[in-house]
Copies of this chain bind each other. A is one copy, B any other.
């Protein structure tokens, strides 16, 4: 019996913009009845919204998140090795990038399972493309520290690194801390450092704006409580 394949399935960043996921993703998804998902409920909703018609009573949705144990990961691989193709979905955008899933993919590689990534929206990449900042060298850091003093120190280090390495520095923040992050950026960075704020990516309220810290200070901008990507760069 041949082993199945593991498809990495992108989902929507903005529920009002379903067109950003290519049709071939739905064609592949339609053939699967085994999914590893971050949350069952939202996975079902996404699958239905994109035309998936199977009866969920006959579909296996297996939870995969940062708390999944080695034993659970092993069981997921066994299902594929027994011959079933599987799909992996995370909550928004592409699995495994600023999202869980890499542990299962790593195990799949160890067992010789073929891993097939499907194209879809990534808020990090869309933000980087549209920022106008250096795209030949960049680093992504996930979330910065929550405590203000440590966060400011991290911001300062990233600003120095943007200059020293001539590399764009990307990070994210939970929506309810956007305003605190934005304030810290304005108060910590040099006036001529370039900051891109990207919110509502791929949706109708998308805003991607790059300007100097000095210009941001004058713009009286207040980031709404929606997911944001921040990018720091230097000319």
Let me know if A211 is at the binding interface, CB within 8 A: yes
Let me know if A29 is at the binding interface, CB within 8 A: no
Candidates B102, B115, B131; contact of A208 at CB < 8 Å? B115
Q: Which B residue's beta carbon lies closest to that of A21?
A: B22
Q: Which B residue's beta carbon lies closest to that of A18?
A: B24
Let me know if A227 is at the binding interface, CB within 8 A: no
Let me know if A122 is at the binding interface, CB within 8 A: yes
Interface centre among A103, A107, A136 (most CB of B within 10 A): A136
B210 engages A109 (CB within 8 Å): yes
Let me know if A164 is at the binding interface, CB within 8 A: no
A109 engages B20 (CB within 8 Å): no
Residues on B with C-beta less than 8 A from A40 are none
- Shortest distance in angstroms between A122's beta carbon and chain B's nearest beta carbon? 5
Q: Which B residue's beta carbon lies closest to that of A99?
A: B135
Residues on B with C-beta less than 8 A from A102 are 131-135
How many residues of chain A get a CB closer than 8 Å to chain B's CBs?
58
Let me know if A167 is at the binding interface, CB within 8 A: yes
- Shortest distance in angstroms between A86's beta carbon and chain B's nearest beta carbon? 14
Q: Enumerate A107-126 residues with CB–CB distance to B below 8 Å.
A: 107-110, 115-122, 124-126
- Shortest distance in angstroms between A211's beta carbon and chain B's nearest beta carbon? 7
Let me know if A95 is at the binding interface, CB within 8 A: yes
Let me know if A137 is at the binding interface, CB within 8 A: yes
Q: Enumerate A35-55 residues with CB–CB distance to B below 8 Å.
A: none
B8 engages A116 (CB within 8 Å): no
- Mask of A123-150 contacts with B, CB within 8 angstroms, 1/0: 0111111111111111111100000000
Can you name 9 A-B pairs with beta carbons within 8 Å? A21-B22, A22-B119, A96-B130, A97-B125, A109-B210, A115-B208, A117-B130, A119-B121, A136-B140
In the complex, besides A22-B119, A107-B132, A117-B126, 13 extra interface pairs with C-beta distance below 8 angstroms are A22-B22, A96-B128, A96-B135, A102-B132, A106-B210, A108-B132, A109-B210, A115-B132, A116-B206, A117-B129, A119-B121, A119-B202, A122-B122
